Amino acid sequence: MKNTLILTLCLTFFAGCGAEMIIGPIISGIVMWKNGEATKYYDADSKLLYHASKRVCKELAYSIARDDEPKDGQYYFVAGENNRFKIKITEVQKDISSVKIRVDFMGDKPYAELFFKHLDEEISIINFDPEGNPVNILE
């Protein structure tokens, strides 16, 4: 009985789509660190995350020093004083994107987590025009 349970759990994690349904919600709320770069996955379009990230920079008073042209659902821009934040937004699948942030050369966990906190709040905001109509921020 114990071996069957262990085998079932192992197969679930190695069975393609089944593993994504279990692991996806776990990963989407966690900031992962690798080589000084923070990564977080979102159930959102890369274009939406790009615009939300730029609004976060404006909210935190970080100037945009460099903003590359998007290529195949991938966005890259550099923000902050002395090019402090390097932000790369990549579409992993349809409506699933990753946001990678490198703060300075070695990474700065508190600053990256602050940025992600503001980004989490920003993607859930609906913007309105002066008449009270929702505004499409992606245009």
Q: Are residues 20 and 35 in the same domain?
A: no
pLDDT value for 127: 67
Q: Are residues 3 and 45 in the same domain?
A: no
Q: Strands 74-79, 85-93: parallel, antiparallel or unpaired by DSSP? A: antiparallel
Number of structural domains found in the chain: 2
Domain span at residue 96 reads: 31-139
Is residue 81 within 8 Å of 65, Cβ to Cβ? no
Q: Are residues 81 and 46 in the same domain?
A: yes
- Mean pLDDT, consecutive 10-residue stretches, the chain (139 aa), reads 57 50 50 81 89 90 88 87 85 90 76 88 75 62
Q: Looking at the whole model, is its pTM more than 0.75?
A: no
Q: Are residues 81 and 105 in the same domain?
A: yes
Q: Are residues 55 and 22 in the same domain?
A: no
Q: Are residues 24 and 90 in the same domain?
A: no
pLDDT value for 20: 45
Q: Are residues 70 and 112 in the same domain?
A: yes
pLDDT value for 134: 62
Q: Are residues 98 and 124 in the same domain?
A: yes
Q: Are residues 51 and 81 in the same domain?
A: yes
Report the CATH number that the domain containing residue 128 is assigned in CATH. Answer: 3.30.310.180
- Burial class of 66 by CB neighbour count within 10 A (0 to 12, 13 to 18, 19+): exposed
pLDDT value for 24: 44
Helix ranges, 29-108 (H)? 46-59
Q: Are residues 23 and 35 in the same domain?
A: no
Q: Are residues 39 and 12 in the same domain?
A: no
pLDDT value for 12: 54
Q: Are residues 23 and 82 in the same domain?
A: no
